[in-house]
Amino acid sequence: MSVVNFKNIDDICLIEINNPPVNAISAEVRKGLLKVVIELEKNKKIKAVIICAPNRTFLAGADIREFGKNVDGPILSDICNRLERLDKIVIASLHGTPLGGGLEVAMACHYRIATPNTKVGLPEVLLGIIPGAGGTQRLPRLAGITVGLEMMLTGKHVPAKEAKNNGIIDEIIDNDDTVSNGLEVAKRLISNNSRPLATCLRNEKFVNTEETKISIEKIKQKFALKHKNLFSPHAIIQSLEDGLNLTFENAVQNERKLFADCIKSHQREGLIHAFFSERAVNKIPELKLGKPKTIKKIGVIGGGTMGTGISMAALNSGFSVVMIEQDQNGLDKAFEKIVGTYDRNINLGRMSNNDKDSILNNFKGDTDLNTLSDRDLIIEAVFEEMEVKKDVFKKLNSICSNETILATNTSYLNVNEIAEVVSSPDRVLGLHFFSPANIMKLLEIVVAEKTSNHTVATAFSLAKNLKKIPVRSGVCDGFIGNRILSKYLVAIYHMVEDGASIYDIDRVIREFGCAMGPFQVIDLAGGDIGWATRKRKAPYRDSNDRYVEIPDRICERGWFGQKTGKGYYLYGKNVPFLTPNPEIEKICEEERNRAGIKPKKFTDEEILNKYISSLVLEGIKILEEKISIRPSDIDVVYINGYGFPRWRGGPMNYADKIGLKNILKHIETYEKEDPRFWKCPELLKKLVANNTLFRDLN
């Protein structure tokens, strides 16, 4: 069977595209489709054409793996134009997720029908490109300029009902059989003598008026901040705006040119790396060997920041949740926070009172751990203290059956040590959520020495049900994300003590594309958290390691950031965003004097090099120690948990891009100044010597 098959049923031609898993429009698909279109151009008997696709979805877009490669094959844009010009009615029979080029093919057809669960979209912007097969011209003609632009600038998947209201879909048919749907509609349209209606000729919603200009301006402003560092959203707007003054053919050619510019960009490469990396996380050895257990009932211990977030994440995905707190007061506070979050969502129109009631029906709080005896999985989120956690796990050992999976949400503590207090440690693992846990997508799945394959498989299946992105991590201090974070914060404090300005560092890292600078993040999370960790680790600190006391001086003053109104920045009703705390620079000076350091100036480039080098240095050690099984997993952690710019593809991908030789050169220079901190990993030397990249290890 070829990827494009067609058969004529009387005067109807049925085209089926079969390129599993998602019917991506590869060169083979394009060749096959063009061949059929050429046949149809010559065929006078056929009156209607149906395009559909078996498997799980109609065409989910261009084959992204082909981007940036020299692939032979016709251009999708040309095929769409020829399809649209056919003198027979062309019907797209949609199901699943017709996205990108898939929706572009559908929009070039003359009639679109869909099953009720279909979702359509032009998500090219998420890959750093623009729709390149007429999408920027046909979508606004069908849905209008505002809706079309919003769809293209967000990449969102629009449900069939909304798409029908917007004019993208003509009919929703409540039957999953897309072939019979197509045949039924084709016969009806033929018998009604319907004529092909080319989208390119439908200009009623695509007019260049003063009102149009105002709408486009409004949308530009709405997305200005979100898209400030990005290239493709601006190209999308440009393509549409240019199209208002061009003939359709010229507009499509112009779109092709902008599409080609995007394909060449680094942002496209970084975003597509992120796309595939987020799918690669599921390829781990344990999943081949383990069988996931069904999880329905979840227990959460601790109703603080994380316990409430984790409970909501589970409740939102339909799990039954029992939360345990130390006392009634703790439970009341947790309940208030959870109800408050749902009420806010109701006020924002994101959910209804009924949704809230049915979610809360699945939720129960208690102060007695014994209530957890029937749970399939328990997630502990109590204080970050080993003895407190061990005590909880010892009690769980006697309360729960040996089948119950026991997880800790610890940020740094040794999961092997926690597992030891349980009679069957094979069912113990770390589930490291990120705050706010009901929102953040990342979930580090920490596999301890004795964790079984079944337990790991269950955790990955749970992540899928929670709509999280799971990343496998081994056990070490801070796992993948927090371990790297600790390292680069130390490197940054070294820079500050050596003379760099805290505000320059934040600015440079923001300008690099991170959502916030590290000192903004500390102020947001609360400086006290890091302070407590530093105090906990103080007895084990090697006296030969360089230790910068600046953050301790700040915490000693009770300046914990946003929650105390003062940290590295000032906070308050009338205080402008990012107002530096005027006393910080003086504290830095005093500390430099105390440490006997003569401050030097840092250029933006020096700041950035040190920041990136420290991230990559720890990333390589994590790979050497097999804490992470591939560099792209580290990228996924940094993009989804730490605000690293997605369009840079994560720190390891960025290192590949700037050249491992350059990273090695920086690290070797820093090593001369501070050999303990910057000791150069053998793996990096080996990769450079062999002229290989991190991507070769993925």
Provide the annotated active-site residues.
Answer: 62, 101, 104, 124
Of ligand NAI, ligand 3HC, none, which one sits near residue 97, judging by CB under 5 to 8 A according to partner kind? Answer: ligand 3HC
Closer by beta carbon to ligand 3HC, 100 or else 518: 100
**Judged by CB under 6 A, which of 37, 48, 60, 514 binds ligand 3HC?**
60
**Judged by CB under 6 A, which of 38, 39, 41, 65 binds ligand 3HC?**
65
**Judged by CB under 6 A, which of 411, 451, 581, 640 binds ligand NAI?**
411
| Beta pairing class for 111-114 and 171-172 | parallel
Kindly report the number of other CB atoms within 10 A of residue 199's CB atom: 21
* Alpha-carbon span 455 to 597, nearest angstrom: 51
Q: Token pair 């991507």 is at which residue?
A: 695
54 binds ligand NAI (CB under 6 A): no
Closer by beta carbon to ligand NAI, 37 or else 476: 476
Closer by beta carbon to ligand 3HC, 48 or else 149: 149
Q: How many residues bind ligand NAI (CB under 6 A)?
A: 23
Closer by beta carbon to ligand NAI, 220 or else 333: 333
Kindly report the number of other CB atoms within 10 A of residue 23's CB atom: 27
CA angle centred on 76, ends 70 and 81, rounded to 5°: 145
Closer by beta carbon to ligand NAI, 304 or else 499: 304
Element (H, E) at 429: strand 428-433
618 binds ligand NAI (CB under 6 A): no
Name the minimum Å distance from CB 18 to ligand 3HC: 14
- Three-state DSSP at 149 gives helix
Closer by beta carbon to ligand NAI, 197 or else 388: 388
How far the first Cα of the chain sits from its last, in Å, is: 32
269 binds ligand 3HC (CB under 6 A): no
Name the minimum Å distance from CB 312 to ligand NAI: 13
Structure tokens at 32: 């096959």
* Alpha-carbon span 15 to 33, nearest angstrom: 8
Closer by beta carbon to ligand NAI, 292 or else 303: 303
At 83, which amino acid appears?
L
Torsional sign, CA 573, 574, 575, 577: positive
Residue ranges of alpha helices (H) inside 89-144 are 101-108, 135-143
466 binds ligand NAI (CB under 6 A): no
**Judged by CB under 6 A, which of 81, 93, 97, 410 binds ligand 3HC?**
97
Name the minimum Å distance from CB 369 to ligand NAI: 7
650 binds ligand NAI (CB under 6 A): no
Q: Are 517 and 637 in contact (CB under 8 A)?
A: no
* Alpha-carbon span 678 to 117, nearest angstrom: 53
| Beta pairing class for 297-301 and 320-324 | parallel
435-454 positions binding ligand NAI, by CB under 6 A? 435
181 binds ligand NAI (CB under 6 A): no
Of ligand 3HC, ligand NAI, none, which one sits near residue 384, judging by CB under 5 to 8 A according to partner kind? Answer: ligand NAI
Of ligand 3HC, ligand NAI, none, which one sits near residue 87, judging by CB under 5 to 8 A according to partner kind? Answer: none
Name the minimum Å distance from CB 147 to ligand 3HC: 18
* Alpha-carbon span 50 to 34, nearest angstrom: 15
SS (H, E, C) 182-250: HHHHHHHHHHCCCCCCCHHHCCCCCCCCHHHHHHHHHHHHHHCCCCCCCCHHHHHHHHHHHHCCCCHHH
Please state, in angstroms and as integers, the Cα–Cα distance from residue 571 to each residue in 82, 181, 409, 435, 575, following that order: 60, 60, 30, 21, 6
301 binds ligand NAI (CB under 6 A): yes
8-47 positions binding ligand 3HC, by CB under 6 A? 21-22, 24
Name the minimum Å distance from CB 396 to ligand NAI: 11
In degrees and rounded to multiples of 5, residue 84 shows phi and psi of -65, -30
Name the minimum Å distance from CB 395 to ligand NAI: 8
Structure tokens at 291: 């069988």
Q: How many residues bind ligand 3HC (CB under 6 A)?
A: 25
Strand partners, 121: 99
305 binds ligand NAI (CB under 6 A): yes
Of ligand 3HC, ligand NAI, none, which one sits near residue 24, judging by CB under 5 to 8 A according to partner kind? Answer: ligand 3HC
Of ligand NAI, ligand 3HC, none, which one sits near residue 301, judging by CB under 5 to 8 A according to partner kind? Answer: ligand NAI
Name the minimum Å distance from CB 367 to ligand NAI: 8
DSSP 294-334: P--EEEEE--SHHHHHHHHHHHHTT-EEEEE-SSHHHHHHH
At 569, which amino acid appears?
Y
Q: Which stretch binds ligand NAI (CB under 6 A): 203-211, 277-285, 375-383, 542-550?
A: 375-383
Name the minimum Å distance from CB 411 to ligand NAI: 4
Name the minimum Å distance from CB 393 to ligand NAI: 11
Of ligand 3HC, ligand NAI, none, which one sits near residue 302, judging by CB under 5 to 8 A according to partner kind? Answer: ligand NAI
Of ligand 3HC, ligand NAI, none, which one sits near residue 81, judging by CB under 5 to 8 A according to partner kind? Answer: none
CA angle centred on 636, ends 634 and 642, rounded to 5°: 90
- Buried (b) or exposed (e) across 47-56, using 16+ Cβ within 10 A? bbbbbbbebe
* Alpha-carbon span 505 to 67, nearest angstrom: 35
**Judged by CB under 6 A, which of 28, 66, 384, 420 binds ligand NAI?**
384
Instruction: Mark residues 101-140: x for contact with ligand 3HC by CB under 6 A, - for none.
Output: x--x------------------xx--x---xxx-x-----
Which of 69, 43, 139, 40 is closest to 99 using CA atoms? 139
330 binds ligand NAI (CB under 6 A): yes
Which of 119, 81, 88, 120 is closest to 199 using CA atoms? 81
Torsional sign, CA 115, 118, 124, 127: negative
243 binds ligand 3HC (CB under 6 A): no
Residue ranges of alpha helices (H) inside 545-625 are 550-556, 584-594, 604-624
**Judged by CB under 6 A, which of 24, 59, 103, 306 binds ligand NAI?**
306
Q: Which residues bind ligand NAI (CB under 6 A)?
A: 301-307, 324-326, 330, 381-384, 388, 392, 409-411, 433-435
Q: Which residues bind ligand 3HC (CB under 6 A)?
A: 21-22, 24, 57, 60-65, 76, 97, 99-101, 104, 123-124, 127, 131-133, 135, 276, 279
